[in-house]
Structure 1
Amino acid sequence: MPAQSADNWLALPKVSRPLATTDRQVLSITTAVDGVEGEGFLVRRAFAGIHHHQLDPLIMMDHIGEVEYGPGEPKGTPWHPHRGFETVTYVIDGEIVHRDSTGGGGTIKNGDTQWMTAGSGLLHIETPPESLVMSGGLFHGVQLWVNLPAADKMIAPHYQDIRGSRVRLLSSPDGGALLRVIAGELDGHRGPGATHTPITMVHATLRPGAQLTVPWREDFNAVAYVLAGRGNAGAEQRPIRMGQAALFGSGGAVTFKASTTQDTRTPDLEVLLLGGKPLREPIAQYGPFVMNTQAELIQAIEDYKRGRLGTVPVTKAAPGQTAPATEAQREHHMPK
């Protein structure tokens, strides 16, 4: 797992051990369900079984891999629209190429994050690079959707390409856990990602037997998803494993512990810790559009059909990539 790391965890700045605060209890442990995205790649719906009111301002998250593709197997997405929220694509292993209708794009890999604010809307496509399609290889990553407040739903689209080298690295007091702060703030340490909606996103690695307790803003909710390995969540030590999410209650700290033995393929417990300040605004969602009212949804669909969210660039498709969509194809890819 080549996501950003350090040779000596003990030399990193430490996350302080919370004192005189209430440890958050685990409200539920849920298991992701399998789904299919894009041109047929498998994902785990990480937050399946958690009510959207408990996730607010988070909307959903897909977990892709860890998977070893053979030659010709890597797949991407067709051109598709977004409006009204942000997508956060965190690539732990592997590589993905992004293009959009504004002419933007880029490649992220091995610990990089792309933070795309869809805002008023655009069309985009995500594909594996041609080299990965031809050779096959390892891929592991997540895509998180974060809601935008009503006042920011129609802002101009923009991007943050957050290279792994910019992620804020911290450790637990005993050096048994490494924390990568991607966005938001943890114990006064800020990550590089700027957010319209206050959230925190941390990827933690716990060595076998290590315990980690981190302070967590009391006005934020908290959910943790296990990317790899197994261990326990909460002070009450609820068992949790890869593909499961722990939803926490109120309090000022969150606790995890890695099992003393792990699989040889995944020697550590890998946890994505997320949370934010709830917007408490109405949500109206239809596929790739997340708005506040049904009228806004109808307008988003109409704008998409009339090409107001952008035009697909005319380029020749490379292996593993999808050619520009025709009007009929755009109709087909809309959710039914």
Structure 2
Amino acid sequence: MRKIKKIHKAISAPIDDLVTYRALPTNSVEYIDPFLFLNHHGPQVYKPNNRGLPFGPHPHRGFETLTFILEGDITHQDTGGGKDVIQAGGVQWMTAGRGLIHAEVSSEEFKKEGGPLEILQLWFNLPAKYKMTEPKYIGLQKDKIPTVTEDGGKVKVNVVSGSWRDTEGPIPSLSDIHMASIELQEGGSFSTSVPAERNIFFYVVRGAVKVNGEKAEKLNLVEFTNEGEEVQVEALEESYILFGHAQPFNEPVVAHGPFVMNTEEEIHEAFRDYQLGKMGSWN
């Protein structure tokens, strides 16, 4: 079995009136190459006539984002031409690449009517060879994400990228990143094998599970070593986890705000390009 290095607790990091827990980076874990950042927004209930999500226009370069909408919705718009409203159960995958400006806000309907909201955003690094690739956006509603059931239906794997068993995820990954969200009923279990050289991403969104013999509960990020391959999971209660794996890039990571590059000079260049309008202009 794959050995567990440490279990980290996400820290409280509210943004305006948005309840937020940050699982990556924290004082105990910087990143799990190439998984850079995870913000867990909610769960919370918005009253009618609210301001919604606070993520107005801002730039990105050098990485990708994957957003899981568990409750509520997101209206996405970017200077690469992407425009979308994704509802609960859907996902958004954005390759920032050489740079764009985007906004992620709540729909007018959600702001007017309110309701429950829970959203997770995960950042993946891009290897140096893809840092300046063309930006791209893919939004998928719940019914476009294939599911695989395990353990007599007690486990449901929503395959986003890469593959699970013989099911391919609908989003092609430049860097062969495999990602899924997994819903488990109490007592449900599954096991899977991940090649030892690949790094595992494992975050408990809701509930509590036993993973390779250790208990992990909501807001826990499980960091594995690169010894062993098998991952065994059993739900101690109804649970929801994010699970993925990828080959580490083993490249320098220099991050400053909305940009993730390999050198300080590339960060300065990103700021210059943004100020010169090379990432597009927001109307």
Query: What TM-score does the superposition give when structure 2 sets the normalisation length?
Result: 0.93
Q: 1:62 aligns with which of 35, 39, 42?
A: 39
Structure 2: segments with no counterpart, 5+ residues: none
**1:257 CA drift (Å):** 1.3
Question: Are residues 108 and 76 of structure 1, via their aligned partners in 2, closer, same or farther at CA, if it must alter by over 3 Å?
Answer: same
2: CA distance, partners of 1:131 / 1:162: 19
1:277 corresponds to: 247
Task: Say whether 1:77 aligns with 2:47.
Answer: no
More moved, 220-229 vs 173-182: 173-182
Superposition map of 1:53-132 within 5 A: 55-73=32-50, 74-132=52-110
Aligned residue pairs: how many? 279
Which string of whole-angstrom CA distances, capped at 9 and with x for unpartnered residues, describes residues 19-73 of structure 1?
Answer: xxxx112211110001134x55231112332232xx1111111111121111233
Which amino acid is the alignment partner of residue 305 of structure 1? Q
Secondary structure of 2:110's counterpart equals helix
Q: 2:150 aligns with which of 151, 157, 172?
A: 172
Is contact 2:19–2:44 with CA below 8 Å preserved after alignment?
no
Which amino acid is the alignment partner of residue 254 of structure 1? V
Which string of whole-angstrom CA distances, capped at 9 and with x for unpartnered residues, describes residues 86-145 of structure 1?
Answer: 111111221110112234311111211111111110111111011111111011121111
Secondary structure of 1:79's counterpart equals strand
Which string of whole-angstrom CA distances, capped at 9 and with x for unpartnered residues, describes residues 217-271 of structure 1?
Answer: 333111211111112221x2x1211111111223222111111xx4xxxxx1111
1: CA distance, partners of 2:189 / 2:162: 23
Is contact 1:187–1:215 with CA below 8 Å preserved after alignment?
no
Task: Say whether 1:43 aligns with 2:13.
Answer: no
Task: Say whether 1:184 aligns with 2:162.
Answer: yes
2: CA distance, partners of 1:215 / 1:171: 17
Q: 1:242 aligns with which of 210, 218, 235?
A: 218
Which string of whole-angstrom CA distances, capped at 9 and with x for unpartnered residues, describes residues 190-226 of structure 1?
Answer: 2111111121111111111222212223331112111
Q: 1:287 aligns with which of 238, 257, 274?
A: 257
Secondary structure of 1:299's counterpart equals helix
Secondary structure of 1:41's counterpart equals coil
Which amino acid is the alignment partner of residue 90 of structure 1? F
Is contact 1:147–1:197 with CA below 8 Å preserved after alignment?
no
2: CA distance, partners of 1:168 / 1:219: 27
**1:278 CA drift (Å):** 0.4
The runs of at least 4 consecutive aligned structure 1 residues that moved more than 6 Å come to: none
Is contact 2:62–2:259 with CA below 8 Å preserved after alignment?
yes
Query: What TM-score does the superposition give when structure 1 sets the normalisation length?
Result: 0.79
1: CA distance, partners of 2:129 / 2:53: 36
Q: 1:255 aligns with which of 232, 239, 242?
A: 232
Is contact 1:214–1:254 with CA below 8 Å preserved after alignment?
yes
Which structure carries more strand by proportion? 2
Structure 1: segments with no counterpart, 5+ residues: 1-22, 263-267, 314-336
Which amino acid is the alignment partner of residue 220 of structure 1? R
CA RMSD in angstroms comes to 1.6
1:301 corresponds to: 271
1: CA distance, partners of 2:47 / 2:39: 22
1: CA distance, partners of 2:53 / 2:157: 30
Which string of whole-angstrom CA distances, capped at 9 and with x for unpartnered residues, describes residues 137-180 of structure 1?
Answer: 01112111111111111111111122322222112244321111
Secondary structure of 1:255's counterpart equals strand
Secondary structure of 2:271's counterpart equals helix
1:140 corresponds to: 118
1: CA distance, partners of 2:33 / 2:6: 16
Q: 2:184 aligns with which of 206, 231, 244?
A: 206
Is contact 1:284–1:292 with CA below 8 Å preserved after alignment?
yes
Is contact 2:151–2:189 with CA below 8 Å preserved after alignment?
no
2: CA distance, partners of 1:242 / 1:99: 31
Secondary structure of 1:36's counterpart equals coil
2: CA distance, partners of 1:149 / 1:162: 25
